[in-house]
Amino acid sequence: MKKKLSVKHLLGIKSLTTEDIELILSTAEQFRDVINRPIKKVPSLRDITIANLFFENSTRTRISFELAEKRLSADTINFSAAQSSVKKGETLIDTVNNILAMKVDMVVMRHPNPGACVFLANHIDAKIVNAGDGAHEHPTQALLDAFSIQSRLGSVRGKKVVIVGDILHSRVALSNIFCLQKLGAEVMVCGPRTLMPRYIGDLGVKVEFDLRKALEWCDVANMLRIQLERQDIKYFPSLREYTMQYGLDMPLLKSIGKEIVIMHPGPINRGVEITSEVADSPQSIILDQVENGVAVRMAVLYLLAGRTDN
């Protein structure tokens, strides 16, 4: 078994090898055990300071990273663009370099611009973890999704996973496609034509426009949220129409004649892409995903911080 990651930063799933992903998932397995103990904390990163830089809103990812950091005993500082000097016109590199001047070892960053983390990694001397960059990648989400599938179904290899919804604006979709394919799963994307990137087929995924057909094919359905905040034009006539075509409800789920696993990266728009009944059903592993998120992020931070070449 490999002992260390091949990368210094976690910028995206695309730059990880299959062995890297397997190492992260097997380490996460041990951390899930740690966070279910009476004392949920280990001292591994006690000498590390981590800055969480969120230039974009986030609840789940941010809390999850913060908990992961605290459970590894790292010191953390939080930064959100809303209350910062970014508003006064400071550049990204200046902002980050100022924070690093205060002796910070790692940066967890979410940024609305794709590639912001890669840019930062090329210019500054700290380890970077991408917590979502625009519509590009969201690597930790993909890792925790793969981890959740593995926990529920025993393995990711050979499983059929459909990603439903706003593929065009979704960083979760892109990272999930890379991650699941590297682990040997078959991936399909399903959504309205207008929300389907033009050359998505080149990534080796199946494309389906009929939700029922997609559900009949798959073992796992990952339902994405419609990202209205990223949509500059109207991609479909109304949310109601979207729901009629691509919303998952109980009658549809029951009618496909087999039990599939339902996932959602959150936040859920109940009644739009998924009904409450489905989201809260035993087939749904949405809250498991959240629990696994902390374990997976602990594994990522632990493995990056523990690299011996620095």
Partner 1 sequence: MTPRLILNPQQLDITIKRLCHELIEVHDTFRETVILGLQPRGIYMARRIHKELQQILGVDDIKLGELDVTFYRDDFRKKDLVPNTTSIDFIIEDKNVVLIDDVLFTGRTIRAGLDAMLAFGRPTDVELLVLIDRRFSRHVPIQAKYVGKRVDTVASERVIVNWKETEGEDKVWLLTQ
Question: Cβ closer to partner 1: 224 or 301?
Answer: 301
CA distances from 170 to 87, 99, 114, 201 (A): 26, 29, 11, 16
- DSSP letter (8 states) at residue 114: T
CB of 22 to partner 1, least distance (A): 12
Asked if the bond preceding 192 is cis, omega within 30° of 0, the reply is no
CB of 65 to partner 1, least distance (A): 18
CB of 39 to partner 1, least distance (A): 4
* Alpha-carbon gap, residue 186 to 159, rounded angstroms: 6
Question: Cβ closer to partner 1: 36 or 276?
Answer: 36
Question: Cβ closer to partner 1: 26 or 95?
Answer: 26
**Secondary structure of 46-65 as H, E, C letters:** CCCEEEEEECCCCCHHHHHH
* Contacts of residue 101, Cβ cutoff 8 Å, sequence gap at least 6: none
Residue 88: other Cβ atoms inside 10 A: 6
Residue 94: other Cβ atoms inside 10 A: 12
Question: Cβ closer to partner 1: 10 or 118?
Answer: 10
* Alpha-carbon gap, residue 115 to 136, rounded angstroms: 7
CB of 35 to partner 1, least distance (A): 11
CA atoms within 13 A on the CB side of 287: 6
Find out whether 69 and 301 touch, Cβ atoms under 8 Å: yes
- DSSP letter (8 states) at residue 248: B
CB of 30 to partner 1, least distance (A): 4
Question: Cβ closer to partner 1: 1 or 244?
Answer: 1
CB of 144 to partner 1, least distance (A): 18
CB of 137 to partner 1, least distance (A): 26
Question: Cβ closer to partner 1: 73 or 113?
Answer: 73
Task: State the residues that interact with partner 1 by CB under 8 A.
Answer: 1, 3-4, 23, 27, 29-30, 33-34, 37-39, 41-44, 302, 305-308, 310
Question: Cβ closer to partner 1: 53 or 300?
Answer: 300
The DSSP string of 255-284 is HTSS--EEE--S---BTTTB-HHHHTSTTB
In the numeric block, which tokens belong to residue 140?
């930790």
CB of 160 to partner 1, least distance (A): 30
Question: Cβ closer to partner 1: 193 or 307?
Answer: 307
Beta bridge mates, 189: 163, 207
